[in-house]
Structure 1
């Protein structure tokens, strides 16, 4: 069963962000657009490159009213230690959620049970708490924050323009489509 258009399931976890710990629940994702990025583990190889890439584009996400959250099955304490020792993670200003129980990771169907780690899952959540984008990668395949930013813009456009859809490679300001019988077979 797809997670698309479903509500984020209830959870409670601790997060680390710029020197502070705080609690996060499914309610945290409501009232604004959210990007939730699952990754396997702190102190690894591909993960810091992805989180640094997101850190480099974080201001662009914020301009769109989007909050970013990184999630692994590490604890929030491990996130703090990683931020204090890794130059790449020191750049991260968004929240890193600890999910040592795997509740959140299982809720988003990205848990690798035999390893206790998350797959590389990317989710865009609308202000009502519904999942609008879901991508899951093998852990050897890194993601691109600029492509994620493009997809968030498309999701926001579609949400604010009922009846419109964004074609492949759509960029902000480009033409969209209005699905209709007249378009069938003409694209």
Structure 2
């Protein structure tokens, strides 16, 4: 079953953010754009490269009213430890949610039963709390923050301009396609 347009279920989780532990709920997502960025585990090999790549684009995500949440099945305490001892992870400014009970990884269908870890899933959630883009990568394939930001821009444009769609490789500022009846077939 597809998760597109599924409304995020109510949840409560703890994150490490700005040197503090914070409770995050569905209410924190509403009214803005959200990127849920699931990754397998702290202290691994591909994960820190992805998290650092996202950090390099974090201010661009923030400028367009999007919060990033990195999520793994580690605890928020493990996130703090990793943040404290890793030079690369210490740069991260967005919240890192711990999901040791796997409630979020199950809800977003990214729990790997064999490994007991989250798969590499990326979910763009609109201000109403609905999933509008998602993808799940194999564990050994890292993601690209530039492409996630491009997709976010396209989702935001379509959300604000319902009669337009964004063609392949569309980037912010480029032409879109109008889908009104009079334009069909042109």
**TM-score by structure 2 length?**
0.96
- Say how many residue pairs are matched: 185
Q: Which deviates more from structure 2 when the two are superposed, residues 174-183 or residues 125-134?
A: 174-183
Report matched runs for 1:11-160 at 5 Å: 11-160=11-160
Q: Shift in Å at residue 179 of structure 1?
A: 2.3
Which blocks of at least 5 consecutive residues in structure 1 are unaligned? none
Once residues 97 and 54 of structure 1 are traced to their aligned partners in structure 2, the CA distance between those partners, rounded to angstroms, is 15
Q: Which runs of at least 4 in structure 1 moved beyond 6 Å after TM superposition? A: none
Shift of 1:149: 0.5
The secondary structure found in structure 1 opposite 2:27 is helix
Superimposed CA distance per residue, residues 9-42 of structure 1 (whole angstroms, 9 cap, x where no aligned partner): 1221110012010111122211110001000000
- The alpha-carbon deviation at position 113 of structure 1 amounts to 1.2
- Supply the distance in 2 between the matched residues of 1:40 and 1:12 (Cα, whole angstroms): 20
Q: What is the match of residue 165 of structure 1?
A: 165
| CA distances 1:83-117 after superposition (whole Å, capped 9, x unpaired) | 01111111100000000000000000000012210
Any stretches of 5+ residues in structure 2 without a counterpart? none
CA distance in 2, matches of 1:49, 1:150: 19
In 2, Cα distance between equivalents of 1:6 and 1:122:
14
Residue 180 of structure 1, CA deviation: 5.0
CA contact (8 A) 2:38 2:119 kept: yes
The DSSP-based 3-state class of the residue aligned with 2:88 is helix
